[in-house]
Structure 1
Amino acid sequence: MASPIEDYALLSDLHTAALVSRNGSMDWLCFPRFDSDSTFGALLGTPEHGRWLLAPDGAHEGTTEPLGAGPAGNASGGTPEAPAENGQKLPADTAASGADTSSRDAVADAKATEGGTATEQVWHDAAQGGSGVVNPTGAPSHQDNTKDPREGHGRSAHSERSSGRATGADDAAEAERKRRRGAPVVVERSYLQSTFVLRTCWQTATGEATITEFMPVGDRRASVVRRVECTSGHVTIHQEIVVRFGYGEAVPWVYRVNDEDTGAESIVAMAGPDAVVLHGSKLPVAEDRRHRGDFTLQAGEVADFELCWFPSHRKVPAMCNVDQQLKDSVAYWRDWCSRFPPQGEYHEMVKRSLLVLRAMTHESTGGIVAAPTTSLPEQFGGERNWDYRFVWLRDAALTLESMMTHGYEREALEWRNWLLRAVAGDPEDLQIMYGLAGERLLIERELGQFPGYLDSKPVRMGNGAMCQYQGDVIGEVMVVLEKLRNLGEREDHFSWPLQKSLLHYTEKHFFDHDHGIWEMRGEKKYFTHSRVMMWAAFDRGVRAVRDHGLDGEDDHWARQRDELREEIMEHGFNKEINSFTQSYGSSEVDASLLVLAQVGFVKYDDDLMLGTVARLEQELMDDSGLLRRYRTEAGMDGLSPGEYPFLACSFWLVEQYAQTGRIEDARKLMDQLVGYANELGLLSEEYDTANERMAGNYPQAFSHLALIRAADAINGHAQQAL
């Protein structure tokens, strides 16, 4: 069984990504691209669908925290608590990890007396003026660890960084934790500061170990590196690797090879066009179509492993220089973050969100995936399971906006160039989404070999929404490209003619119903949000001519814009409920209506907008204070009803509150939302507040994009107040 979604860490090499659970199991990895077939697919099934476990012996299979726990304590923002064995309440730092803190403190005291291990002394030296990147064994410095990006906000304000998950487990889970008392526990997990290099510190009955893992960046080498170091006593490590290409269906041919130069032995797994090689000094052995093995490290000893993908017709690649790759990867991420300006409140969460967006951007093409996963459910046990490993024009446009407003103009231009390539050709062939390099054929099919995450079926690859007409998409693109012009970026012989063709496309589909921003699979309608975004497209076309001196049919576009406005005000606003509506002639509302103020259709404090906000709070806000996208029970989306609150919608509400002077409401909701992130600062698409569980694909670009906008709104209000 896969871990709770919030238990996973993201690793990225800017070409693909891996998800590693808190218990040390790498359960999701697609080589060599985000949208490739899975090599490890246990996230959607069982270990038989592929995974790589590396953790202290006795710690595997969910011993670090019971299933059902959420990220970081209670929703009220108070100190999280958990039941103790005698019925008393334990402080959060004790309850969260299940560790024996007295033994942990004793170890810490002993180290302080002895001056620490040799490794720790190097860490200390680095903190006093050394490089602080790697020590002679390559182990990162404690001083470099990212502090919990949620620190000081809401649910996480009193949580220990190493926990990052809810307490107060049910009776069965508590009994399970008692049964496993004495098993290895994670006492700290974090990224190195401003990187995607993950450090997990384990404590066992015999010693302590740190596992450092990352994907090398910059050399186009498709690999994952995992380093195990014993930092005190001795620790026995258990390893199990199950390689299954082709979404869990292709069992590879496995054999051993020796390096021609060093004689070192490695394990190769091959099936069809794909092959991987596992390098390392402590290789597992074959056992029942998988490889398992245990090894023991003494204090100061290190074991390195690298799993490297390569085309099966090519020579087996040699093992990388782990120290150098670690140093280079840390340097890459920190150099990228060096352009990030101070943000005021929520600085760490905004930085981590931008890092997530960068991690999900393909280095070569500039394409930005909506998420690196497929089919993590929007409702556990339900059918709302979609493949998000593609580039939505809407999401990518919003990413461009976040990048260019936070010091990353080069990345914004890379995306603009991706857009030009992807949509080049007949505008009638325009899609709402593309592959990483602009591929158009993203045929959706079901993968019946997977039982699905928590039995959520079907598991899908590809996305049938590629064929949908969504009227809002051109508006999203035009709004962002207008902001790029306002920052001084010049249009060229290709970029502006393409935008004019997009406006002609919008005009040609002026009277067409669409599927809406949420990709409804029911009847097409005139969705108010879509019509407003069409208004925004024509409006930005007019501005391009009148404000920036570009050539174009500004008078004609202005007439189209004004006609749309009259239509929207007549059919998209319901006077009886004093609110804009989800679609024309309806009394249903939709959280996407919060975007109307963001694009300037109405002002944030317009009475029409304030009435809409009141209606949204009345109809779509759940008991925890989060917004749903719309009422699925109304049946307009063609699917069975039921889903959890969509996090981006509540971040939009934060922005609306901040822009209309409800700053305390904005901060309260923002703190609550930030508290739903795990201790690494990662957010999923949705959140199940009843069970304190993340839901939906993960990590989700849209959630992190909306977080950035919300933080900007709060910080903008603070600056105005000054």
Structure 2
Amino acid sequence: MSSRPLGDYAMLSDCRSAALVSRDGSVEWLCLPRFDSPAIFARLLDDDAGHWTIGPAGPAEVTRRYVPGTLVLETTFRTREGTLVLTDALALGAGERGHDLGASSAGMVLRQVTCVEGSVPVDMAYAPRPEFGLVHPLMQPVGGGLIARGGATVLTLSSPVELRVSGSVADATFTLRAGRSLGFAMQAGWAWDPDPPCRTSREVRRRVKDTVRGWRSWSRLHVNHEGPWRHLVEHSGRVLKAMTYAPTGAIVAAVTTSLPESIGGERNWDYRYTWIRDASFTLQALSTAACEIEETAFFGFLARASATQLDRGAHLQIIYGVGGERDLSERRLPHLRGWRGSSPVRVGNDAWRQAQLDVYGELLDAAHQTYCAFDPFTRAMLVGVAEAAARRWREPDQGIWEVRGPSRHFTHSKLMCWVGLDRAIALAPLLRASGRVGEWTRVREQIRAAILSQAWNQRIGAFTQTFGGTSLDAALLVMPLVGFLAPDDPRVRSTVRAIGTRLVDPRGLVHRYHAADGLAGQEGTFLLCTFWLAHALAVTGEHPAARRVFETAVSYANDVGLLAEEVDSATGEPIGNFPQALSHIGLINAAQAITPAGPSPGRTTG
């Protein structure tokens, strides 16, 4: 089974799919042609599920970085014999620049290894395993590389060195001297094509440079944040772009599946999809990162994917495939042992079947942030969403955290129904629904009164997770962020203090909740919730505390600035699916909220 720390991985992206590369130069996760496609390399989840490793034959000291302004990875290996630099990228389409990233990407992995000092022996091992390791393909050497064929996918590898083939593994050993560079490329196809993707090392080098120029052209258009964490905000903006499926504008929650929230436990979910739950905070982050085109594309995707007749008793679906697919039925992959033995490994996500009332508010808040001239279909859909919020807000649901137990009256769900109606009232002229404002206003005030009377617990001095409950929930940190109560309201301040005291672990990170949720095992702390605490402290005027919490959260980014979903309270290791979009979204939004308070006394770069 795989046991490598998640922080050892860096992400590559062509804005259609993603790869994870380890510190020792091993590609151990790659899904093509989409984020949610079956994996070609999946050693992340099982040792025998495929990898492609290039690195020095002996021990090495390793440092890594992204080429500035890009998601092109440079890994430097310093050995006794000399120094190697491995440059890795998922190729952007030739000549793609600015907002066009991902428009014509073709699923090509580029790997260039260069000796910059001395003379270094290099090992390469290539073991693709399509369909999450089920397929051990047949390999056939061809001029300039080899073909691997099995299942639905044909993989073409170009190599400037002769490869030894044994079963479904190809390997090579060669020595590079100072000034020498070799380039390799792999491309997935769905037809027999004996031509390698790049015929020469020079062509690989040219495509790497073109991909660097493409990412930098995008980055130059997205420099908006001024403040002590500018580098972190800009990098997180690139991460969100990297997690965007360019053909539709969908943003995945993470690029992996089944990395556990509890090591060895069952909290292992597929996050390679798009959640409406994330919409409003995603749009805020994209705005801060000056990603206007991406904002429009993301909202357009949400509007198209979620269009349905809500007056026929259907709920608004909470999660979609990156192409807008709705049936994401969950299944298990029993042949995979899972990261650190955390099984089951799942693909698909049955949360698509759940009812979550908060999505009405998140979608309408997203529409309110875009505030554009909506087409007739989008107008009709948004009016239907507002009507559904007004009609259904009294119902129990599974809540923002997708609790898999009985439905309950979650305060956050009611809060977001209030948000939905509040935004629909503001949007009414654009929605051509001014005649509904009176009714929407009446129901909005009913929801407000219910929350204030049934969710506030005087004894614990906080709004609680459920109506009439006693448990805290970090999701209620958004209460002052969405405008339900003023930041200086004593109940808001008291709730923020209670969460900052009772849901925070000794490391200073925030748990989502401590209440039972119908699943075995204990999860880690959530980085999103920690950034929410920093954000809430900032808007309530607790600026020094906000900066301390923010600095604590960003300290858990790995060496190339990527954030996981959670942090293990016992070990401080990143856990959960990786990298996690919501963690980077929380970072961007909290940094923007804290920035007016002045410079941070601590860490200012990634």
State whether TM-score is above 0.5: yes
Q: Secondary structure at the match of 1:597?
A: coil
RMSD across aligned C-alpha pairs, in angstroms?
1.7
- Equivalent residue, structure 2, for 1:10: 11
**Letter in structure 2 aligned against 1:713:** A
- Equivalent residue, structure 2, for 1:211: 86
Aligned match of 1:231 in 93, 103, 116?
116
Alpha carbons of structure 1 residues 17 and 250: separation in structure 2 relative to 1, 3 Å: same
1:455 corresponds to 2:378: no
- Equivalent residue, structure 2, for 1:140: none
Alpha carbons of structure 1 residues 511 and 314: separation in structure 2 relative to 1, 3 Å: farther
Listed one character per residue, the Cα deviations across residues 169-191 of structure 1 (whole Å, up to 9, x for unaligned) are: xxxxxxxxxxxxxx2121x3100
Listed one character per residue, the Cα deviations across residues 383-412 of structure 1 (whole Å, up to 9, x for unaligned) are: 111000001112244222221343221111
* Structure-1 separation of matches of 2:329 and 2:430: 42
**Letter in structure 1 aligned against 2:544:** E
* Structure-1 separation of matches of 2:68 and 2:349: 36
Aligned match of 1:272 in 133, 136, 151?
151
* Structure-2 separation of matches of 1:315 and 1:401: 46
**Letter in structure 2 aligned against 1:476:** E
**Letter in structure 2 aligned against 1:286:** V
- Equivalent residue, structure 2, for 1:53: 53
- Equivalent residue, structure 1, for 2:140: 255
* Structure-1 separation of matches of 2:484 and 2:280: 19
- Normalising by structure 2, we get a TM-score of 0.93
- Equivalent residue, structure 2, for 1:710: 590
- Normalising by structure 1, we get a TM-score of 0.78
**Letter in structure 2 aligned against 1:656:** A
**Letter in structure 2 aligned against 1:253:** L
Aligned match of 1:311 in 190, 195, 205?
190
1:469 corresponds to 2:384: no
1:529 corresponds to 2:412: yes
Where in structure 1 are there 5+ consecutive unaligned residues? 59-182, 259-264
**Letter in structure 2 aligned against 1:585:** G
- Equivalent residue, structure 2, for 1:198: 73
**Letter in structure 2 aligned against 1:354:** G
* Structure-2 separation of matches of 1:618 and 1:661: 17
> Shift in Å at residue 375 of structure 1?
0.6
Where in structure 2 are there 5+ consecutive unaligned residues? 94-103, 600-606
Is residue 60–residue 79 contact of structure 2 (8 Å, CA) maintained in 1?
A: yes
- Equivalent residue, structure 1, for 2:234: 351
Is residue 267–residue 277 contact of structure 1 (8 Å, CA) maintained in 2?
A: yes
* Structure-1 separation of matches of 2:65 and 2:288: 27
**Letter in structure 2 aligned against 1:7:** D
Alpha carbons of structure 1 residues 612 and 318: separation in structure 2 relative to 1, 3 Å: closer
Q: Secondary structure at the match of 2:44?
A: helix
* Structure-2 separation of matches of 1:495 and 1:53: 47
- Equivalent residue, structure 1, for 2:602: none
Aligned match of 1:430 in 313, 316, 319?
316
* Structure-2 separation of matches of 1:544 and 1:318: 50
- Equivalent residue, structure 2, for 1:649: 529
Is residue 390–residue 433 contact of structure 1 (8 Å, CA) maintained in 2?
A: yes
**Letter in structure 2 aligned against 1:269:** A
* Structure-2 separation of matches of 1:518 and 1:342: 30
Listed one character per residue, the Cα deviations across residues 563-612 of structure 1 (whole Å, up to 9, x for unaligned) are: 11111111111122121000011100100010111111112221111111
> Shift in Å at residue 622 of structure 1?
1.0
Listed one character per residue, the Cα deviations across residues 281-327 of structure 1 (whole Å, up to 9, x for unaligned) are: 02431135312221101111111000111113556454262233222
1:389 corresponds to 2:289: no
Aligned match of 1:324 in 184, 197, 206?
206
- Equivalent residue, structure 2, for 1:364: 247
Listed one character per residue, the Cα deviations across residues 51-104 of structure 1 (whole Å, up to 9, x for unaligned) are: 11111013xxxxxxxxxxxxxxxxxxxxxxxxxxxxxxxxxxxxxxxxxxxxxx
- Equivalent residue, structure 2, for 1:29: 30
> Shift in Å at residue 209 of structure 1?
0.9
* Structure-2 separation of matches of 1:254 and 1:235: 28
Matches within 5 A, 1:152-167: none
**Letter in structure 2 aligned against 1:324:** R
> Shift in Å at residue 424 of structure 1?
2.1
Is residue 187–residue 197 contact of structure 2 (8 Å, CA) maintained in 1?
A: no
504-513 or 449-458: which moved more? 504-513
> Shift in Å at residue 251 of structure 1?
1.1
315-324 or 394-403: which moved more? 315-324
- Equivalent residue, structure 2, for 1:292: 171
1:184 corresponds to 2:60: yes
* Structure-2 separation of matches of 1:552 and 1:540: 15
> Shift in Å at residue 550 of structure 1?
5.8
Is residue 310–residue 316 contact of structure 1 (8 Å, CA) maintained in 2?
A: no
Q: Secondary structure at the match of 1:494?
A: helix
> Shift in Å at residue 642 of structure 1?
0.6
1:626 corresponds to 2:509: yes
Which structure has the larger Rg? 1
- Equivalent residue, structure 2, for 1:180: none
Is residue 393–residue 477 contact of structure 1 (8 Å, CA) maintained in 2?
A: yes
* Structure-2 separation of matches of 1:406 and 1:242: 38
- Equivalent residue, structure 2, for 1:520: 403
* Structure-1 separation of matches of 2:525 and 2:105: 38
Is residue 659–residue 717 contact of structure 1 (8 Å, CA) maintained in 2?
A: no
* Structure-1 separation of matches of 2:195 and 2:453: 66
Greater length-normalized contact order (CA 8 Å, ≥ 6 residues apart)? 1
Is residue 404–residue 484 contact of structure 1 (8 Å, CA) maintained in 2?
A: no
- Equivalent residue, structure 2, for 1:66: none
> Shift in Å at residue 337 of structure 1?
1.1
- Equivalent residue, structure 1, for 2:580: 700
1:670 corresponds to 2:546: no
Is residue 272–residue 312 contact of structure 1 (8 Å, CA) maintained in 2?
A: no
> Shift in Å at residue 656 of structure 1?
1.3
> Shift in Å at residue 641 of structure 1?
3.5
Alpha carbons of structure 1 residues 283 and 554: separation in structure 2 relative to 1, 3 Å: farther
* Structure-1 separation of matches of 2:194 and 2:250: 29
Alpha carbons of structure 1 residues 623 and 338: separation in structure 2 relative to 1, 3 Å: same
- Equivalent residue, structure 2, for 1:542: 425
> Shift in Å at residue 36 of structure 1?
0.5
> Shift in Å at residue 501 of structure 1?
1.2
* Structure-2 separation of matches of 1:283 and 1:392: 46
* Structure-2 separation of matches of 1:234 and 1:324: 24
* Structure-1 separation of matches of 2:503 and 2:269: 23
**Letter in structure 1 aligned against 2:125:** E
Quick one: percent identity of the two aligned structures? 38
Is residue 310–residue 317 contact of structure 1 (8 Å, CA) maintained in 2?
A: no
9-18 or 316-325: which moved more? 316-325
Alpha carbons of structure 1 residues 552 and 269: separation in structure 2 relative to 1, 3 Å: farther
Listed one character per residue, the Cα deviations across residues 127-160 of structure 1 (whole Å, up to 9, x for unaligned) are: xxxxxxxxxxxxxxxxxxxxxxxxxxxxxxxxxx
- Equivalent residue, structure 2, for 1:92: none
Is residue 451–residue 457 contact of structure 1 (8 Å, CA) maintained in 2?
A: yes
- Equivalent residue, structure 1, for 2:107: 222
